[in-house]
Structure 1
Amino acid sequence: MFQLISRILQKSVQSMSNCLLCGIDQQQYHSLCNDCWGHLPWLKQHIIRHEQQILCAHHYQFPIDRVILTYKYEQQLQYQNLLAHSLLNLRLPKVQAIVPMPISTQRLADRGYNQMLIIAKIMAKELNIPVWQPINREAQHSQKGLSRIERIENIENQFQIISTERRKYKKVLIIDDVVTTGSSIHALIQALNKLGCQQIYSACIAAAD
């Protein structure tokens, strides 16, 4: 009953709020008006990186590129609903848990939050599945001057299994914000394989060229 009342109140507030992008029309779709939601740079397709299929919601183009950057680096958390529902708008596979892309302890301290964990929690609530974080990420070092193989090894070494994690899931969904080379997703998949995951899917908010 409380959840129903909360949703009704949330929709009432949204109906009185202006679109986060144009600032003119009222919010209708996850903090945006109808026109702005429809004119986002939708992709809704799989791309291939490291022989891994990654389902992507958008092209990394305006305005979604600016939204991601301000959400990620400028603490503009009002965009979390828009970004979460961009992923929820995809035909996602049925899985047992969501795995947000980990960030290092240093980056967490600098930023104050893991941007993908916030989105994962919204998605997990909608899909009625848990968020699973069985992997830590060590300090992320510069890739400058490294060969392709050295870059891959460098990233793979960043992901470390949490030995105290007791939960196990066989079918999981990795989520990330922007995919370029796909190296981080590839490395996270390798770590999850060691935990016994048998079906690992990946979804990203935007795909960069």
Structure 2
Amino acid sequence: MLMFNLFSKSKNLITPILRCQLCSLDSQYKATICKDCWTQIPWETEKIIKQEVPIFVACRYEYPINRIIQKFKYEQQLHFQHLLANLILQLHLPKVQAIVPMPISEERLIERGYNQSLEVAKIVAKILNIPIWQPIQRMHQHSQKGLTRLERIENIQSQFQIKKDYKIRYKRVLILDDVVTTGSSILALMQSLEQLGCQKIFACAIANAN
């Protein structure tokens, strides 16, 4: 019995302390980061409106969130998905039947190896106990540089196509995007979902880039 107690105590002594994923100085407080880093997040305090669409947004696209998203999106640092998902979960999200992650084109998927919005949506959907729904595919993502506002909207609208023979339908859904800039992608995706019979379509994003 004495040997067992000593062994148990020794196991407790070598239990690793999980350090903050941002500063690595303090122990984790919430969503893989320490209390100081959590309080320094540039929270977005109000729901924003773009393209006449209200969007739930967790943060402003400022340091350190902008750098975290860049590492997650372009540098394959997928361990940040838990932090980013928890930022979304801080929002007062409406009750929905499914989450629709912002789709990316096949070219972007091959380039990055994953859809960043989908990776975050998987965690959010698991915690909320609702399914991921992907009835829309995105075709070639063309550059928006030099286009007028109307041209940008038309360009993005042409990128989204409804998948053929997609039988599963939901009435209340939540679009999840990583960063919202003009809001054109969210508007175009909403319009495609309306064609599928969605009656209540909400949208959320991790960060707002003005």
Determine if the TM-score, normalized by the shorter chain, exceeds 0.5: yes
5+ residue gaps, structure 1? 1-13
One-letter code of the match for 1:48? Answer: I
Rg larger for: 2
1:67 and 1:194 map into 2 onto residues whose CA distance is 35
Q: CA deviation at 1:109?
A: 0.3
Report whether the alignment pairs 1:93 with 2:94: yes
Aligned ranges 1:59-208 → 2 under 5 Å: 59-208=60-209
One-letter code of the match for 1:126? Answer: I
Question: For residues 121-178 of structure 1, what are the alpha-carbon distances to aligned partners after superposition, in whole Å with 9 as ceiling and x for unaligned?
Answer: 1011100000000000001011233222121111000000001211100000001011
1:147 and 1:26 map into 2 onto residues whose CA distance is 48
2:63 and 2:74 map into 1 onto residues whose CA distance is 17
Provide the aligned length of Structure 1 versus Structure 2: 196
Across the aligned residues of Structure 1 and Structure 2, the Cα RMSD in angstroms comes to 1.2
2:133 and 2:57 map into 1 onto residues whose CA distance is 21
Q: CA deviation at 1:15?
A: 7.1
TM norm structure 2: 0.91
TM norm structure 1: 0.91
5+ residue gaps, structure 2? 1-14
2:200 and 2:112 map into 1 onto residues whose CA distance is 31
The alpha-carbon distance between structure 1 residues 208 and 15, as it changes in their structure 2 partners (threshold 3 A), is farther
Alignment check: 8 A CA contact 1:60 1:208 kept:
yes
2:45 and 2:56 map into 1 onto residues whose CA distance is 7
Q: Percent identity between the aligned chains?
A: 58
1:35 and 1:15 map into 2 onto residues whose CA distance is 20
2:51 and 2:168 map into 1 onto residues whose CA distance is 28
2:40 and 2:145 map into 1 onto residues whose CA distance is 36
